[in-house]
Structures are given as C-alpha cells and as structure tokens.
Amino acid sequence: MSVRVRFAPSPTGPLHIGGLRTALYNYLFAKQHQGVFILRIEDTDQARYVEGAESYIQDCLRWAQIEPDESPMHQGQYGPYRQSERYAIYQEYIQRLIDNNNAYYAFDSTEELEQKRAEAAANKEHFSYDSTTRAEMRNSLTLAPSEVQRLLSSGAAYVVRFKVEPNRQITVNDEVRDRVLVNSNTLDDKVLFKSDGMPTYHLANVVDDHLMKITHVIRGEEWLPSLPLHYMLYEAFDWTPPTFAHLPLILRPDGKGKLSKRDGELGGFQYIL
C-alpha cells in the first residue's frame, strides 16, 4: 500500500509557522516513502472564510518548495480537493449514518439550547447534548416519525448529531502518544451536518480522508480530543481508520496556549493577504 498523506488547512486566515510545520512533516513523510502529498482545502465553514487565504496558503507552500502532488490546482483522481465542491458527497454519507441509526436530526432552537445551558449553569453544571440529555430534547429520537417528517418537509432548521453510545471504552491509537483510552460518557453528540446543507469539519474530514485513501493523518495535537469521535465515525461507516500522528503544538512566545493565526504579529511576521 503506498503512502498517501494530506495537509488540510482551512482558509480562515494566514498560514502560520505551525501550519507550515504540519505541511512539512506530511511532505517529508510522503517523500521518505515515495508516497503522495495532497493539499485539501477545508472550506466548509463559510462564516470564517477569508478571501485570499487559499492562494496565500498555496504561495507559502511554493515558497517552502513543498509542491503537492494532488491539490485544487493539480487534480488527481480523488478530487475535487476543495470541500465546498464536495457537498453532494457529504449529503450521501450523512444519510447513510441517519439510515443506520448512528446519527439523528435535532430541531432544538438556539433559544432552547441557551435555556438548557442557563439552567445547567444555575446549578453550577455544564450542559452537554449527549446520551444523558438527548431524551429531553426535540430530536428524531424523541419525536414521532410523522412529526419528524412534517418538520423536515416544512423546511424547519435542524442539525444532524452523531449518536454516541454511552459506557463504551474507546481505544484510539496515536503514533506519538501511543494508546489513548476514552470513555464515551465524556463525549457529546457532535453536530455533523446542518440544514443549510453544510457538513461540519468532523464529517467532511473523515469522509474525505477515507475517499482520498489517506493512509496517515499527521496533524496538530489540538485534534487529538476529536480522535475518539473520528474513530467512532470510521466504525459507523465500517471503514478502517488510517494511522494517526498528532504533533505537539508550537506555543505562543509567552507560552500561554498554542500559536494561532492571530498571533502572527507577536512573532514579528507580516502577513499580506
């Protein structure tokens, strides 16, 4: 099996040194194994989209002489390589999860969710939409099927949430951390899809890694907490997960948290988008 890795930035701002380092690890790993290095643009979050960010990312990679083998500019056989051009694919896969009872429609309004959060906060608790609370919410697990159909056909706003089974011990493998054990009771029912037709990062990322035949996912450690969900998604689709390696983060110069796209100027970098 030949190595296929990807760098999957979101065009939400300028690329910083942490992102470039992730690209470099992937690129060098691909070169070491005569593999393929892919650039995939993860632009499903339209609210955070920054004009010009994608071409800036491509310029940065060119500057570093990291040339992708497959990318939006250089199509291979697994394209399109921009997630905004792949919506029909995500529709199909979210439907599969709903049909298999791994995901469900949730119709709770922002106000209803706010109220739940406020009630929990009043008791010094934190509201989490999960196996302990979903039975009290307005979703396709609690509403009559006819009511769900009525809401869907009337164009009511909804999200699709992943149905996390309680009391499961999930073991994920990370090449850096080794085995990581997580109890599913600590995980919430993450939103995978919204009624505006947009998938969230988790669904789009897992579906694309599978369809693009990615063998190794090398990315920043900030994604390690998402790994149990990603494993459960692979399981729900009956797919074999790739190998994962989560790289330690580059921190802000003051050591307080990770370097973010907004911190460029702290390091004396000038971004021109």
Q: Is 83 in the site for ligand GLU (CB under 6 A)?
A: no
Q: How far is the CB of 186 from ligand GLU (least distance, A)?
A: 21
Which residue number, 127 or 234, has a Cβ lying nearer to ligand GLU? 234
d(CA 35, CA 1) in angstroms, rounded, equals 10
Instruction: Say whether residue 219 binds ligand GLU (CB under 6 A).
Output: yes
What one-character DSSP code corresponds to residue 155?
A: T
| Interacting residue with ligand GLU among 3, 4, 5, 9 (CB under 6 A) | 9
CA-based radius of gyration for the chain: 20
In the complex, least distance from residue 9 CB atom to ligand GLU, rounded to whole angstroms:
5
Nearest in space to 9 (alpha carbons), one of 41, 55, 50: 41
Nearer to ligand GLU, 127 or 223 (CB): 223
- The single residue among 26, 139, 200, 205 that binds ligand GLU, judged by CB under 6 A, is 205
Residue found under tokens 């330690």: 248
Longest dimension (CA), the chain: 59
Span of 6-14, 176-184, 189-197, 260-268 interacting with ligand GLU by CB under 6 A: 6-14
* Closest CB to ligand GLU among residues 6, 163: 6
> For the chain, what's the residue count?
273
Say how far apart CA 197 and CA 244 lie, in whole Å: 29
Among 25, 29, 87, 223, binds ligand GLU (CB under 6 A): 223
Residue 139: phi, psi to the nearest 5? Answer: -145, 175
CA distance 260 to 254: 13
Of 5-13, 148-156, 185-193, 250-258, the segment contacting ligand GLU by CB under 6 A is 5-13
The verdict on whether 261 is a catalytic residue reads yes
Q: Is 10 in the site for ligand GLU (CB under 6 A)?
A: yes
- State the nearest-atom distance from the C-beta of 189 to ligand GLU, in Å: 20
Tell whether residue 228 is a contact of ligand GLU (CB under 6 A): no
For 162-222, give the DSSP string: E-PPSS-EEEEEETTTEEEEEEGGG----EEEETTSPBPHHHHHHHHHHHTT--EEEEEGG
Q: How far apart are CA 36 and CA 24, in angstroms?
A: 13
Query: Quick one: which segment of 4-12, 25-33, 62-70, 115-123 binds ligand GLU (CB under 6 A)?
Result: 4-12
If one asks whether residue 42 binds ligand GLU (CB under 6 A), the answer comes out as yes
Q: Which residue has the tokens 């702290």?
A: 266
92-131: which residues touch ligand GLU (CB under 6 A)?
none
User: Which active-site residues does the annotation give?
Assistant: 261
Binding residues for ligand GLU, rule: CB under 6 A, are: 8-10, 42, 205, 219, 223
